[in-house]
């Protein structure tokens, strides 16, 4: 078991985090969350020993092996298979099939095994490193953004692998749904401290919210008490008859701990700028075909329309043509055959992965956003920058010093700067943190126009898409329905049966499946509704008790000031009694949350079984 004790790290005099203590128990799969820049990757480096802490220690048992997803690319072998198999120990060095199985799960074709690993693009090279990490059979896996560059099929394979992995794992990923599906615990670096809980990210963030509410109420009560004590000292400090009491109040003031007001975390306030279109259809696509080599088409004879309010998800394996189709729709590539007819009032906004390369590196963020729409004033541009977490002087930073996530936000700013009624988005969640992804997903759902999005996020697809274009080994097909409809009716036929992801065709009819789902949902509601109601009741009672505590605290102060021993005792006992009730309510709420979580996990599992 790894033990981390009172870990501290700072850079250039700025404390990144301090007093971080936790352990990793047998078989635990831990999701590590926190804002970009909070120190998640740094914590991995400290565990691995590649960085030295400024305080505290990391204790690792003798013989305990740690495997990591190496972001640095350094290949030494001539083929992909040899590169991966070099991590096998002496007893298993000829078991190539194990590497082949993992490589296949990560999307490599059999013909790729004998290719030079350096001949692949950066994303595929990261997959090779991921294969090496999984193949090395460590006791603990440290996976920093393993979902980057993975398509949906590879994500589903990796999810299955991690669920059955017998060791421990700590996972950093911006894909919240993926994290919750494989982890047993959530651990977060939050306000330079660390908290670890058993359960999914939703439970972690809910507890953090409740703790902040309690802290803020305590701080406000303390401020009021300090004001009262200071007022008493100021009014009666000079009077001989009150001098003793004034001195007592002064000592109370000196002993009181100062609780600083919590700083508000910046959240992305993205709002796409919509302009209406009178037509019901924005684009008509007829017999569309494209290939960089006309003899090897990526897709052919594709027919569909983009309605004024459609949400179309483009899904499939990487390298099959998803981004290419988006670029054809955007007019950046000309089709080999077919045509696209656009409504005269169509106003398109395109977020493309290659567009990051087109950002002027020496421009400031303000200059880059303004270049997208020179008609905007400085005030309007800075307002857009502020909504994307580039407030004040930070909006004057040059593009070349920005991180990947910050550059993505600049691209979103350039889109926001222009009114549109159709959004073309190519993997818009890349490099964004969980909070920003949540905002982006909600805004895509709220946008009054049409959206066509390439994404590997099954959660985003479920929440936004009502149409799909599915890339398979046979090309691209238009599917009328959402992502869950697709899984139910068609499914991923390329999934490996050994990975436990093969589509199990249901023996139930669609009507029977629907009835079964409704039965499960009703049963979940039947069990969870009274628990949620009781939780709400306890929360309201806590608010009432806090108000009573404040009232009796004032009575206690008055009785103490008047040297009324009987009332002082009565008030003190009442405050203690009320505080005990508050504590008891919080303990009951925690128990309720655990029960609710258990019910939800069980019924989610039952619903997932229907999808198989």
Q: Supply the pLDDT for residue 67.
A: 92
Q: What is the pLDDT of residues 360-394, one digit of tens each?
A: 999 999 999 999 999 999 999 999 999 888 988 99
Helix axes 96-105, 152-164, angle to 10 degrees: 130
Q: Which residue has the higher pLDDT, 601 or 293?
A: 293
Question: What is the percent of the chain where pLDDT is above 90?
Answer: 49
Q: What order of strands is seen across the sheet that includes strand 299-307?
A: 299-307, 281-290, 337-342
Confidence band (pLDDT; 50, 70, 90) for 216? confident
Arithmetic mean of pLDDT, 174-198: 92
Lowest mean pLDDT: which of 131-140, 191-200, 267-276, 498-507?
498-507
Arithmetic mean of pLDDT, 43-55: 93
Confidence band (pLDDT; 50, 70, 90) for 97? very high
Q: What is the pLDDT of residues 127-156, one digit of tens each?
A: 999 999 999 889 999 999 998 888 898 999
Cβ-based burial of 329 (10 A; exposed 0-12, middle 13-18, buried ≥19): buried
Concatenating the DSSP letter of every residue in 241-299 gives: GGHHHHHHHHHHHHHSPP-PPPPPPP-------B---S-SEEEEEEEEEE-SBTTB-SE
- The token pair that represents 480 in the structure block: 């009328």
For 551, half-sphere exposure in the C-beta direction (CA atoms, 13 angstrom radius) is 8
Confidence band (pLDDT; 50, 70, 90) for 504? very low
Q: Supply the pLDDT for residue 242.
A: 64
pTM: 0.69
As a whole number of angstroms, the distance between CA 386 and CA 268 comes to 8
Helix (H) or strand (E) holding 200: none
Lowest mean pLDDT: which of 307-316, 439-448, 547-556?
547-556
252, 228 in Cβ contact below 8 A? no
Q: Supply the pLDDT for residue 451.
A: 96
CA angle, residues 454, 459, 461, in degrees to nearest 5: 40
Q: Which residue has the higher pLDDT, 383 or 431?
A: 383
As a whole number of angstroms, the distance between CA 31 and CA 511 comes to 37
End-to-end CA distance of the chain: 35
pLDDT of 50 > 70? The answer is yes
* 3-class SS of residue 503: coil
Non-local (6+) Cβ contacts of 198 within 8 A are 184, 185
Q: Which residue has the higher pLDDT, 239 or 498?
A: 239
pLDDT of 503 > 50? The answer is no
Runs of H (alpha helix) within 183-200: none
CA angle, residues 6, 7, 9, in degrees to nearest 5: 140
Arithmetic mean of pLDDT, 343-368: 89
pLDDT of 182 > 50? The answer is yes
């Amino acid at each position: 078991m790894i033990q981390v004790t009172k870990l501290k790290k700072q850079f250039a005099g700025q404390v990144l985090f301090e007093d971080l203590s936790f352990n990793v128990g047998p078989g635990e799969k831990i999701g590590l969350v926190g804002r970009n820049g909070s120190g998640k990757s740094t914590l991995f480096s400290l565990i691995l020993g590649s960085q030295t802490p400024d305080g505290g220690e990391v204790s690792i048992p003798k013989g305990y092996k740690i495997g990591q997803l190496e972001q640095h690319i350094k290949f030494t072998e001539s083929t992909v298979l040899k590169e991966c198999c070099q991590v096998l120990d002496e007893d298993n060095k000829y078991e190539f099939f194990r590497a082949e199985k993992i490589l296949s799960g990560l999307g490599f074709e059999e013909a790729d095994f004998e290719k030079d690993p350096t001949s692949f693009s950066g994303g595929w090279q990261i997959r090779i490193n991921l294969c090496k990490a999984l193949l090395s059979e460590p006791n603990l896996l440290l996976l920093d953004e393993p979902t980057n560059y993975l398509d949906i099929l590879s994500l589903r394979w990796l999810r299955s692998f991690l669920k059955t992995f017998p060791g421990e794992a700590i996972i950093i990923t911006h894909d919240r749904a993926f994290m919750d599906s494989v982890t047993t615990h959530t651990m977060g670096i939050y306000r330079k401290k660390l908290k670890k809980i058993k359960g999914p990210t939703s439970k972690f963030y809910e507890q953090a919210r409740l703790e902040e509410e309690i802290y803020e109420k305590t701080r406000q009560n303390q401020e009021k008490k300090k004001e009262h004590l200071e007022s008493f000292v100021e009014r009666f400090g000079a009077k001989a008859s009150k001098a003793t009491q004034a001195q007592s109040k002064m000592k109370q003031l000196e002993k009181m701990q100062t609780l600083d007001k919590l700083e508000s975390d910046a959240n992305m306030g993205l709002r796409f700028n919509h302009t209406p279109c009178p037509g019901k259809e924005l684009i008509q696509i007829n017999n569309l075909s494209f290939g960089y080599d006309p003899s090897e088409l990526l897709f052919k004879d594709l027919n569909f329309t983009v309605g004024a309010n459609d949400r179309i998800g483009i899904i499939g394996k990487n390298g099959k043509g998803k981004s290419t189709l988006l670029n054809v729709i955007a007019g950046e590539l000309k089709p080999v055959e077919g045509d696209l007819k656009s409504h005269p009032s169509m106003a398109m906004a395109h977020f493309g992965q290659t567009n990051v390369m087109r950002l002027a590196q020496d421009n400031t963020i303000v200059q880059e956003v303004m270049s997208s729409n020179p008609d905007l004033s400085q005030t309007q541009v800075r307002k857009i920058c502020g909504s994307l977490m580039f407030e004040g002087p930070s909006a004057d930073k040059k593009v070349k010093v920005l991180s990947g996530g910050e550059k993505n936000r600049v691209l979103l700013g350039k889109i926001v700067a222009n009114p549109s009624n159709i959004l073309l988005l190519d993997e818009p969640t890349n490099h964004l943190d969980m909070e920003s992804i949540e905002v982006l997903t909600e805004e895509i759902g709220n946008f009054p126009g049409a959206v066509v999005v390439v994404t590997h996020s099954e959660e985003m697809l479920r929440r936004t898409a009502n149409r799909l274009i599915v890339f398979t080994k046979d090309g691209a097909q238009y599917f009328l329905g959402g992502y869950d409809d697709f899984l139910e009716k068609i499914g991923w036929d390329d999934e490996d049966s050994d990975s436990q992801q093969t589509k199990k065709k249901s023996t139930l009819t669609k009507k029977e499946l629907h009835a079964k789902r409704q039965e499960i949902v009703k049963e979940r509601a039947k069990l969870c509704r009274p628990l949620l109601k009781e939780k709400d009741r306890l929360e309201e009672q806590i608010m009432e008790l806090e108000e009573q505590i404040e009232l009796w605290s004032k009575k206690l102060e008055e009785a103490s000031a008047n040297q009324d021993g009987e009332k002082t005792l009565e008030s003190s006992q009442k405050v203690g009694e009320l505080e005990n009730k508050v504590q008891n309510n919080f303990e009951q709420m925690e128990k309720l949350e655990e029960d609710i979580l258990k019910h939800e996990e069980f019924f989610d599992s039952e619903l997932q079984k229907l999808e198989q």
